[in-house]
Structure 1
Amino acid sequence: MSYAEVASKGPKQTPEEAAAPQPPQIVTDESVSSSSIIDVDGPGVRTVPADFMEQDIKTETQADRIEFEKREKAAKKKAEDLAAKAKAEADLAKKKGKAKARKADDWLTKSFADLGEGGRGAVAAANFVAVVGLSGWLGFKAWGLYDRGRLSWKDIGLGVGILSAVGVMESVLANYISKANKKDHEQ
């Protein structure tokens, strides 16, 4: 059975009961005084000047934002100035370093040139003997470790590192000997 069927079997409503409730009525009472109403001409109401729309800055928030942007621009400018100064100092240090390196390079080249052909040949021969001797000694030590079963990758890496360092020094030395030979032949 549905709700509609159950409701139709009961007693009928009166027209007052079936009607929607009445909306509340506003009671006009003359006892309310006009003193409780805000006076728009008084100091409690904020007003804007007549030239409000012509002003560049209209609100405190806008003034704060403009001030923040000014500070931000000043900080950015200061950071750019500091970066430019640091770059200039780095460039100057780089130039000084290059000048010192060139001076040391020139001194070494001059020293090898002063040795003469025989001296340079002796230095090259001593360099060759040192490289061959060091390589032979490292090979002998590695063979001994291998024979005893104690040769490890760490030992191999150490030997390769030593030979690499000696190779770099040999190439630097050969470079200066070559420069000295060129300088002799130019004169």
Structure 2
Amino acid sequence: MSYNSRAPAPTQVEHSDDSVHSLVDVDSPHISSVPSDYESQSVKTDTQAERIEREEEVEQEAKDIKDKAASKKEAAKEKARRNADNPVVLSNAIGLALVGGIVGFGAYRQYVRGELTGKVVAAWVGVIGLFGVGDYYVSQ
């Protein structure tokens, strides 16, 4: 080992202006500034404006659906008032309540005993369907 050897020379940094071209020039016209009343504006961005517009459209659609439902409800009430004294409608309503109660009570009892299966439910649905078809032809 010799004590006369020196450390290697440090590497030189190459100075170039090429990397400066990618920086944004703050004086260029594509940079926009925020208006002075920005904080007091209710809508600050285009995205926010689009969201508000979509929300208004959804609210309008919901109002239209609600109005249509209300008109259908009124039409159904009027139809029920017109047919309130119709014996066929009355017998159908009473029959539906009676059959629904009997089937519901029977299904509950079978459920409590653990006997309610898919086959039993399908059979009762078939019986109720036959009752509906028979009632339709009797009401004609």
Which TM bucket (shorter chain)? 0.3 to 0.5
Higher helix proportion: 1
TM value normalised by structure 1: 0.37
* Rg (Cα) greater in structure: 1
TM value normalised by structure 2: 0.48
Which gives a bigger RCO, structure 1 or 2 (Cα 8 Å, sep 6+)? 1
